[in-house]
């Protein structure tokens, strides 16, 4: 009798696990991009590297016909700024946002650092200072964390 209860409990736990796994399927996509840019300090061009690691989590749901319908997409980007000439200016940026229909993430270099543009929202990063300007049409668009290496 005891064995029957254990087997029944295990089968019930397995069934609940399988049903909950099928209720909220998730898909992820990861990518890495490495860029080398230059900034000007004291009239001298100095190189630095920017490594962008992107991770996207897709929440999908199943229709009765079992076709996938994409719901919201949460994008996380880990941006590593590495400066070999001045290691104290190396930083890691964690950038999170909800992807819209078109993900137009752009990393544009300038004289003092780079600008990140996503769907009309801009972030200015200056080497040695960090994030200095946030120009968002929607103030809650980005979730940003900044760390020293």
pLDDT in tens, 86-131: 888 899 999 988 877 667 889 999 888 899 988 888 888 988 888 8
Buried b (16+ CB within 10 A) or exposed e, 10-39: eeeeeeeeeeeeeeeeeeeeeeeeeeebeb
Is the Cβ–Cβ distance between 138 and 121 less than 8 Å?
yes
* Residue-wise pLDDT tens digits, 35-73: 999 888 888 888 999 999 988 776 665 554 455 555 567
140 alpha-carbon distance from chain centroid: 15
Q: What is the pLDDT of residue 78?
A: 93
* Rg of the chain, C-alpha, whole Å: 22
Q: What is the pLDDT of residue 81?
A: 93
């Amino acid at each position: 009798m005891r064995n029957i209860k254990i087997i029944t409990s295990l089968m019930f736990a397995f069934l609940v696990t399988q049903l909950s796994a099928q209720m909220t399927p998730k898909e992820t996509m990861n990518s890495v991009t490495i860029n080398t840019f230059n900034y000007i300090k004291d009239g001298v061009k100095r190189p630095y590297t920017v490594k962008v690691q992107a991770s996207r989590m897709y929440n999908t749901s199943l229709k009765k016909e079992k076709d996938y319908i994409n719901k919201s997409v949460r994008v996380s980007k880990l941006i590593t700024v590495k400066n070999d000439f001045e290691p104290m200016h190396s930083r890691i940026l964690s950038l999170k946002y909800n992807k819209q229909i078109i993900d137009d993430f752009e990393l544009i270099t300038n004289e003092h650092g780079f600008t990140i543009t996503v769907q009309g929202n801009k972030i200015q990063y200056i080497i040695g200072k960090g994030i200095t300007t946030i120009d968002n049409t929607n103030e809650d668009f980005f979730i940003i964390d900044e760390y020293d290496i």
